[in-house]
Structure 1
């Protein structure tokens, strides 16, 4: 892949979408660090080697806690990898402080402001799109580097000069699903999603891409708090779509697939969705082999040297790679690279931003590029098949789509 930002304004002739989980991080994390008094590393002498303070605001608890756990584990593995096992940049120990937003944007904003007030100039995290969209303006107002995590809402890309992302976005999911549908013109597509920032972003993306190619796009949206999903499965079936695109995240996913199975949706229409975390594989049952999956990542999908390094580090810590492990790992790579450009100091946030813009590097999934124009993270995506059922269900890569093939259109970046 070229070092310069690839062109991304081309829209594939046939496109569909999916997005089955994106958001983010979570559960059981190590004890938060305690920031040093000179943690911004802006001083000289002894202070020049003071800890660099990095705040992780993510969902340790809440409906996205499982994703958060993967993100955190990946971040720790990535920090070890990027610092070559030292945990430091230019002699400055990288000190992590964890804050649990529980998926609540208001709580996340409060925690971010508290960290910024204590001198933190680098923030990462955001499992949920709603959280990322609230933290990004705070980062811009305070000139803080913010690296959003698994949150997939397209609006995060280009939202401002201080915001980046370490995961994929909804548009990349949509482009990945392009080969799963023929000519969209005259087709009926229904999006089944949660009525959240994540779900609404998927509906908007499907309408923009498939609707723009002549498909009639409708939606069935369920409240994020809903636990009885049978009514929504019935609505999706009653819509009689040519294609049902499922964009779902969180702990209610098993109940959703059970409801779709019980209502006979899989035999009534073609279902496209994103492959979720490994624990969800058995939940598809025999229907899993009938679903067209697009995938951000699963353990072993990439086969890269960096993936092998991440896997070894995770296993050493008693963890296993999963859907959002690369998002944390990549966030740590980005953090370290930015800090290396400033010799471990965070006083000049614009210098941290400049170091990341246009950076192309080897990541877990392969070659990654941070597009300078809008900070989109250009990356490979996967088309995946699930075979077997129950505990024997296993994914395999059917096709790898290169970064250029799934690059979203360039977004107009705000100030």
Structure 2
């Protein structure tokens, strides 16, 4: 695994960083006459400004800016300290992310956030743990972030919550047959493993239909899905062949024999579902209007005023800013230099987010949150509509084993 190959290098680099940042005067904050720090609270955002997940990164950044304005009541200050945000583009590359995070830590940043990609989140988490800095991961969904260590938190959902949301249409999954229809890739295999772990562990029978990445004719695979007649067909797909794949499932009558569930992606992808859009049951982390909360309204107003559009991962940035402002403000801003104090303030904290009530579980830092079932309507210009809101406890992952 990539993490294993980098472990020695990370440990050596982290040790050097820890020594450097412990040396004193260059990194010490200035203090005011009352003893409170007047130096800025330094926040480093390491995220995908470019690369394959750049659209996700853009949403995250817009949400973060809105959340910072909301959480500081427009002041951009925690106590008497200004929040200073530095952006680093990792382009979805773990090596670039680690290099960028090392540089920020070396310059005195005690708070790192972002991580659009799961591979990035795992590597930056290891670095944060070694250097004892607060890390709030972003849209990265890997379950590995939960329970990764004392200093690692997340502002988005995780794969376990996705899968439980997908299964909501089945009710009790015990004895039910679930088939994963996925690309034969790391992404597809990860989804197969997650379904077998989450739903298989709850008593379902789980299998898979894996489609080679080079496939252009999806008819044989769609036919196989039709003939299997599972109780639930979970589709895990990404990329330019999505429209052809959905067309084939429709043509082979798959929607007539089973419930088809997939994740609701960003709004720009909705037209690719074509004429079958209204037949798909969508699991949703978030879409504009899903929360129905005052915080969501505040987020939407700020993002729109700034020229942005609220979408899938806007909420992750907004939530991250809320968490960081709370953590840094736990001792009138002084905690912005004290990672242990920030950790203590976040563990067990419940707050009103854009999605609804959110809780940072103390035991493993999972973010307990509502999830949504949705449908698309509107034909050529699809609109997302809420079918059901799942409360946090209904989709809460099991407590992760401490690493």
Q: Is the 8 A contact 2:218 2:248 kept in 1?
A: no
The verdict on how the C-alpha distance between 1:362 and 1:170 changes in structure 2, with shifts beyond 3 A counting, is same
Measure the CA separation in 1 of the matches of 2:279 and 2:85.
Answer: 43
Is 2:243 aligned against 1:257? yes
**Alignment partner, residue 20 of structure 2:** none
Distance 2:349 2:330 in 1: 12
- Work out whether 1:313 is the aligned partner of 2:313: no
1:190 equivalent in alignment to 2:180? yes
Question: Does structure 2 conserve the Cα–Cα contact (< 8 Å) formed by 1:63 and 1:103?
Answer: yes
Structure with a larger share of its residues in helix: 2
261-270 or 97-106: bigger deviation: 261-270
Structure 2 CA distance for partners of 1:53 and 1:302, relative to 1, 3 Å = same
CA RMSD of aligned residues (A): 2.4
Spell out the pairing of 1:241-256 with structure 2 (5 A cutoff).
Answer: 241=228, 242=230, 243-249=232-238, 252=239, 254-256=240-242
How many corresponding residue pairs?
A: 370
Q: Deviations over 1:362-384 (max 9, x none)?
A: 00011100000000000111111
Any conservation in 2 of the 1:229–1:256 contact (CA below 8 Å)? no
C-alpha deviation, 1:306, in angstroms: 0.5
Report what 2:362 is aligned to: 372
Q: Can you give the 5+ residue segments of structure 1 that lack an aligned partner in the other structure? A: 1-36
Instruction: Tell me which of 355, 359, 375 is aligned to 2:349.
Output: 359
Contact 1:185–1:214 (Cα < 8 Å) also in 2:
yes
Q: 2:219 & 2:126 partners in 1: Cα distance?
A: 36
1:148-203: CA deviation from partner (whole Å, max 9, x where unpaired): 0011111110011110000011111111122323645262412415733x544432
Q: Which moved more, 1:395-404 or 1:276-285?
A: 276-285
Structure-2 residue corresponding to 1:339: 328
SS at match of 1:160: coil
After superposition, the Cα gap between the structure-2 partners of 1:291 and 1:54, relative to the gap in structure 1 and judged at 3 Å, is: same
Kept in 2: contact 1:40–1:347 (CA 8 A):
no
Distance in 2, matches of 1:114 and 1:103, equals 17
Q: Which residue in the other structure is 2:9 paired with?
A: none
**CA 1:244–1:123: 2 relative to 1, 3 Å:** same
The DSSP-based 3-state class of the residue aligned with 2:140 is coil
- Equivalent residue for 1:66? 55
Equivalent residue in structure 2 for 1:181, among 170, 175, 179 = 170
2:388 aligned with 1:399: yes
Bigger RCO (CA 8 Å, 6+ sep): 1
- 1:302 deviates by 1.3
CA distance in 1: counterparts of 2:210 and 2:318, whole angstroms: 32
Greater Rg by CA: 2
TM-score, normalising length from structure 2? Answer: 0.85
How far has the Cα of 1:407 moved from its partner? 0.7
Unaligned runs of 5+ in 2: 1-23
What's the TM-score, normalizing by structure 1? 0.83
User: Is 1:80 matched up with 2:69?
Assistant: yes
